[in-house]
Amino acid sequence: KSGFVSIVGRPNVGKSTLMNNVVGEKIAIMSDKPQTTRNTIQAVHTDEECQVVFLDTPGIHKPKNKLGEFMVKSATDAFKNVDVVLYVVDESKKIGPGDRMIIEDLRSIKTPVILVINKMDQIEEQDLFDLMKMYHAEGVFKEIVPISALKGRNVKQLLKVIQNYL
């Protein structure tokens, strides 16, 4: 199997860390400074079962200037012309305006969307359960997969889930 997977979400949720973990190399710059990823970066994951091109996108946010506009545009372009969209969130317990905007965009596309709850290494079990319930209620996501991109927890499982949509 093969296909294209884009990684989208608000700045700083761990998109680049996930991409680097999946391909096992430091391709995208990871940083706690938002907007470190300015362009969409591609990397290929290959194993016995599949070949997947991952697209790491700039975080989606309200653009404040021309560079911001360009970054948001390349992120939203990543919703289309791919086989799967990974929508990455972190431990935040509320769906803020930034996330609301993205979720409504995702609702309108035909591409299957997998919700990735990242940073599970710093989420209590009960909070994780509540988060999954909250996002499930949106009715937008085909699957909800908690991971820790930094620790590499559940990332293999995520790859398996992705394969079902290629």
- For 130, residues 6+ apart whose C-beta sits below 8 A from its C-beta are 93
Q: Is 58 annotated as a binding residue?
A: yes
Which one of Mg ion, ligand GDP, none is in contact with 32 (Cβ closer than 5 to 8 A by kind)?
ligand GDP
112-131 as b/e, with b when 16 or more CB fall inside 10 Å?
ebbbbbbbbeebeeeeeeeb
Q: Is 164 annotated as a binding residue?
A: no
Contact 125, 155 (CB under 8 A): no
Does position 6 bind ligand GDP by CB under 6 A? no
* Touching Mg ion, residues 20-39 (CB under 5 A): 37
* Shortest Å, Cβ 166 to Mg ion: 23
Which one of Mg ion, ligand GDP, none is in contact with 125 (Cβ closer than 5 to 8 A by kind)?
none
R_g of the chain, CA atoms, integer Å: 15
Does position 118 bind Mg ion by CB under 5 A? no
Burial of 66 (0-12, 13-18, 19+ CB in 10 A): exposed
Instruction: Provide the 8-state DSSP code for 22.
Output: H
* Touching ligand GDP, residues 142-161 (CB under 6 A): 148-151
Q: Which residue number places its CB atom closest to ligand GDP?
A: 14
Does position 16 bind ligand GDP by CB under 6 A? yes
Annotated binding site for GTP: 9-16, 56-60, 118-121
